[in-house]
Structure 1
């Protein structure tokens, strides 16, 4: 690699008289800290490398494609032209972590062409920001090539040290794995292939899913992901543990012997590398959303960010069920009794109870799961097509009355569409389902894709499903419906282009604490998630569990945080919709802690990440759009710690009342999770405060201008 690097430097400095060579084969970030060099080796194979000041971050890394219907496209190329441009704009998020977003980068476009027949052409485009890079391939319209069948995209990311890496396996079906923390050289994804708590899993390679985040010995932080994933297959990253490299492995299909089918012209998704000096700057980066196209919907005023309650957690606890008439017989087999078994959760009466509670507590939505017929027939069935119709309620759920009652109380109903991964059924019925929502003025839906994808042979993260998820968002927009997808494809910043993409799951969520046999999510889980999965986009994590132990439902499981951390999550884990996930009776029993949920915002003018280390702790402050109130959340892993907070983000000269919800003196995520102390203090932008976080604990704070 050293010889190749020297060759690149020589090439960049040389003055060539040949027309096919480039006039410039490097580009720097606006602040001159990052530099991308591009070149061809002796075999005329394209490669790039990335430097941060004097440090090589990405060493010589090759680019290319393999096809079913043509020879590989990676050797025998020439540079036909290059173009450099600079771009700087400020655009506004209709909802989000901030209002104004600066999009400033320098771009290098390199046009490549085969030296010999069939003289195929493509370009590599680099956008270099102050906090990272994005690059993609662009295939123009050209003679002799109408369509390509891609069997693999060979994009390399070769590293220069054995980074500390926070990763989940490159599963083709789910992202619901606990994060692993190892050196890059010790990654073993195949060892995670058998997982008792997961409904479906496919881990065919020693690869990781993205975002995957790394920390270097000198404090350099890297996170690898992709942006604008449209009509393409999701990318996992194969790991070369010996040479410390990553290489793209696209998600495939058992129905096809190729991974991507595209007609020309087309662009691939952006391959992204966030590069920062510290962990907080990763969260503050807007690289992923900036690499997406501007808003295509224009008016999104019909969607309002909000908090919501719902018929959900009680089902995971076993208090109620999704189905109306399904129960287990004496042999433990699920059978349909044909009549109500008395545990159905989505009843008119129960939903009205949630509506009443929400109306009293500044919560604007209620999610209703298990409202529609079909839940008796989807568990364990191989052929799930036609099970759900998304318009027919169970006999004990009056949709018209529930919607009417909600409007009377100022509370919106959130629809639920569990597709059971039967995508043909859902695709055919979307117009009918969304029309029903529009009729009732319901503007958001939680979709679900539990189970192996139908048609058989497809995976959740392949091109077929990428298109399904994205087409669903576009179809929903026509009916003024916003999508919160569970069992989704990864977030890649498309919320900028289609802002009705409001949130998604895409991680191991809160529900695993209720029933998983491995003890649930450990205290380190969310301090890792904040610097990995959350970099991709909003997360519907469902925080706010007050009954931490829930022994009356399950004595072997619990939520592995303190109560104070559950409150802090409303600020730390971002989503424009935030669930108050616990049962009504548990909130009513603790009005002191409930007050923070009543007060906390969901839509922000700006976000400040005050401190943090990946997998250890993080503190985030956000300013609410409508009120200019600030809210702060801090969380830690299994280690108690003390953090010093500087309030210099507050308006100069103003005085604020801070209400602080913190771990008590004896708080501990396992032995004493409910020990909560609430106090108030006057603060200004010159205030400094020491926060003590218990093991698995946190601090939540409302900061109101006086």
Structure 2
């Protein structure tokens, strides 16, 4: 007995050392399944309970802090037979994930898992401290329908993704009588928030939800896939924004792939500059303008220039050759010039060119030219086809060391930036300057709590001239923000490439705002949603790679005053640059009015800011 005790003691010490070093601690056991079966989060606050009816039907309920939020919801697939539970194995992981880039440098990875052998398929259930997830493992194409339900306990309020349009919501669950697209963000009450999405969608049709009027039951309208069904949870909506649950449900990168070349950052963009006149110079999408943009980027620690459509010919033209057409010689020159200034160049590629010419050859050639990434637009095909093609292009881009940004109704993000860190952003939103209709202030402060939960977004915020007069691609509406809110949105919107749309001279008119944007040096060391309410306002803090803290606030159409506590700072004295809307600022009238101040602050201080209607505030904190 003494020898056995000694062995157990040394095993315990070994596991403790591994845990301190950041390794996983796993405990596997294989036992017969006994129902009801509970999988609880490591902190025991979240519980997914699975039951089996006498008729052989699996169901689950979800509770947070002892409050049931989802009840009596069916699990399973049709077309593969009824489940016949045989055994369950369990394991627990206590580790950390250090992403190549993301919201923070170190992410705890802690969950409890149960794997159920139910004969017809394998059911895997995980519980994290900020949500639960489950998935079915089955042969591709065997299942007919996904029977999974989300039977909410009450008539909660929900918001949904809605393409390149304002989000749907706020909408009571019982008022929904149609299909809905995730992310589905839900307010159960003031202390309970949920989000429904999926993770690790390696094949199949992306998730579509549906419900009937006067019901709180949601089912799945899309065909079965192998993704995780995810229920994110937070006591505040900002906890959903700060979550890494989707990424953690994706596998790590293949061990033989090196992603040290992936560098997130800010990019200038040639699409909205075209047609602008300044000091006798007219901007357009060609080499002289590109060089001015590169020079500006280099002078302000901005990492990239993004070239948009038509550089290789009309983007929808079947004969437009993405390797030989149009301004390809100028593209070669700007890539070469960019390298002399340490500025990477992104290249646009339309799906027409991507399909008319061999995609592997095209992407390899872009790598050989020295391009930094691709912006892929207008992908065609069914949802399942678009999903698998998106993944294929992402994999090829990883192979050829290209970052990628998918636009124009892309497949929703699902945490793939863990497996493919080069998947830095998508236009999974109504973008500020890339859609046909105006982005309303309330849409922005809804999207950050809905669309942005899925992953990094390309929203094109950051105008420095809100009139946009004389632009070739000028929208037929004015920007519905203030100048300060435009800058604030560049920080609030999580993205691996923050694409700003204006010309250098307009940023140079506002040196403090340019200083705030240029200070967004990624990868972020830390991010924290300080406060916010869906559709109302948000306050976000991020720590840049040089340890500078940046804080941004944005509001809807209503003016508001906010107290921003600085408790996220370490002890010491800081110099704060505070940029806020002018006293007469209003997104409908005086939208370029702002004021700045410099103050000394410390961790225990609170900064009070006033936000104009549609306005914002920006704070930069340095020791």
Structure 2 length as normaliser, TM-score? 0.89
Is the CA contact 1:565–1:696 (under 8 Å) kept in the aligned structure 2?
A: yes
Deviation at 1:672, TM superposition (A): 1.1
Q: Displaced runs of 4+ in structure 1, greater than 6 A?
A: none
Bigger shift: residues 560-569 or 359-368: 359-368
Would the alpha carbon gap of residues 275 and 241 (structure 1) be closer, same or farther in structure 2, given more than 3 Å must change?
farther
Alignment correspondent of 1:234: 206
**Aligned mate of 2:175, from 186, 189, 195:** 186
Alignment of 1:616-635 (within 5 A): 616-625=536-545, 627-635=546-554
Alignment correspondent of 2:118: 112
Is the CA contact 2:36–2:49 (under 8 Å) kept in the aligned structure 1?
A: no
Alignment correspondent of 1:381: none
Distance 1:147 1:469 in 2: 19
What SS does the corresponding residue of 2:516 show, helix, strand or coil? Answer: helix
Alignment correspondent of 2:75: 63
Alignment of 1:28-67 (within 5 A): 28-66=40-78
What SS does the corresponding residue of 1:246 show, helix, strand or coil? Answer: strand
Bigger shift: residues 300-309 or 560-569: 300-309
Alignment correspondent of 1:540: 458
Alignment of 1:169-184 (within 5 A): 169=162, 174=163, 176-184=165-173
Is the CA contact 1:45–1:77 (under 8 Å) kept in the aligned structure 2?
A: yes
Distance 2:434 2:426 in 1: 16
Would the alpha carbon gap of residues 413 and 524 (structure 1) be closer, same or farther in structure 2, given more than 3 Å must change?
same
Distance 1:249 1:618 in 2: 32
Deviation at 1:319, TM superposition (A): 6.0
Deviation at 1:551, TM superposition (A): 4.8
Distance 1:83 1:373 in 2: 55
What SS does the corresponding residue of 2:441 show, helix, strand or coil? Answer: coil
Is the CA contact 1:662–1:676 (under 8 Å) kept in the aligned structure 2?
A: yes
Distance 1:502 1:182 in 2: 31
Alignment correspondent of 1:363: 302
Distance 1:600 1:512 in 2: 22
**Aligned mate of 2:426, from 481, 496, 504:** 504
What SS does the corresponding residue of 1:392 show, helix, strand or coil? Answer: coil
Distance 1:668 1:177 in 2: 21
Alignment correspondent of 1:216: 188
**Aligned mate of 2:259, from 296, 300, 325:** 300
Distance 2:145 2:388 in 1: 18
Distance 2:422 2:161 in 1: 28
Is the CA contact 2:167–2:447 (under 8 Å) kept in the aligned structure 1?
A: no
Deviation at 1:349, TM superposition (A): 1.5
Deviation at 1:629, TM superposition (A): 0.9
Distance 1:49 1:178 in 2: 28
**Aligned mate of 2:240, from 271, 276, 282:** 282
Distance 2:514 2:202 in 1: 41
What SS does the corresponding residue of 2:247 show, helix, strand or coil? Answer: helix
Alignment correspondent of 1:200: none
Alignment correspondent of 1:436: 365
Is the CA contact 1:580–1:597 (under 8 Å) kept in the aligned structure 2?
A: no
**Aligned mate of 1:647, from 547, 566, 582:** 566
Alignment correspondent of 2:513: 593
Is the CA contact 1:345–1:370 (under 8 Å) kept in the aligned structure 2?
A: no
Alignment correspondent of 1:408: 340
Alignment correspondent of 1:681: 599
Alignment of 1:6-45 (within 5 A): 21-22=33-34, 25-45=37-57
Deviation at 1:436, TM superposition (A): 2.2
Alignment correspondent of 1:490: 412
What SS does the corresponding residue of 1:346 show, helix, strand or coil? Answer: coil
Is the CA contact 2:36–2:52 (under 8 Å) kept in the aligned structure 1?
A: no
Alignment of 1:305-320 (within 5 A): 305-314=264-273
Would the alpha carbon gap of residues 394 and 424 (structure 1) be closer, same or farther in structure 2, given more than 3 Å must change?
closer
The answer for unaligned runs of 5 or more in structure 2 is 1-30
Deviation at 1:556, TM superposition (A): 5.4
Would the alpha carbon gap of residues 704 and 587 (structure 1) be closer, same or farther in structure 2, given more than 3 Å must change?
same
Alignment correspondent of 2:6: none
Distance 2:228 2:321 in 1: 37
Would the alpha carbon gap of residues 437 and 21 (structure 1) be closer, same or farther in structure 2, given more than 3 Å must change?
closer
Alignment of 1:549-568 (within 5 A): 549-552=467-470, 557-568=477-488
1:127-172: CA deviations, max 9, x gaps? 0111110110012xxxxxx763444212100001111111235xxx
Distance 2:448 2:250 in 1: 22
Distance 1:388 1:601 in 2: 36
Deviation at 1:289, TM superposition (A): 0.7
Deviation at 1:399, TM superposition (A): 2.1
1:232-252: CA deviations, max 9, x gaps? 1101111233221111111xx
Is the CA contact 1:303–1:443 (under 8 Å) kept in the aligned structure 2?
A: no
Deviation at 1:371, TM superposition (A): 4.8
Alignment of 1:72-91 (within 5 A): 72-73=79-80, 76-91=82-97
What SS does the corresponding residue of 2:115 show, helix, strand or coil? Answer: strand
Is the CA contact 1:306–1:578 (under 8 Å) kept in the aligned structure 2?
A: yes
Deviation at 1:403, TM superposition (A): 1.8
Distance 1:415 1:21 in 2: 54
Structure 1 length as normaliser, TM-score? 0.79
Is the CA contact 1:108–1:125 (under 8 Å) kept in the aligned structure 2?
A: yes
Deviation at 1:631, TM superposition (A): 0.6
**Aligned mate of 1:575, from 495, 500, 516:** 495
Would the alpha carbon gap of residues 561 and 122 (structure 1) be closer, same or farther in structure 2, given more than 3 Å must change?
same
1:109-140: CA deviations, max 9, x gaps? 22213xxxxxxx2121110111110110012x
1:626-661: CA deviations, max 9, x gaps? x11111111111111111111111111x21111111
Distance 1:603 1:212 in 2: 28
Is the CA contact 1:348–1:396 (under 8 Å) kept in the aligned structure 2?
A: no
**Aligned mate of 1:352, from 284, 291, 296:** 291
Would the alpha carbon gap of residues 395 and 578 (structure 1) be closer, same or farther in structure 2, given more than 3 Å must change?
closer
What SS does the corresponding residue of 2:241 show, helix, strand or coil? Answer: helix
The answer for unaligned runs of 5 or more in structure 1 is 1-18, 67-71, 114-120, 140-145, 189-205, 251-258, 261-266, 321-341, 379-383
RMSD of equivalent CA atoms: 2.4
Would the alpha carbon gap of residues 360 and 530 (structure 1) be closer, same or farther in structure 2, given more than 3 Å must change?
same
What SS does the corresponding residue of 2:332 show, helix, strand or coil? Answer: helix
Distance 1:281 1:480 in 2: 33
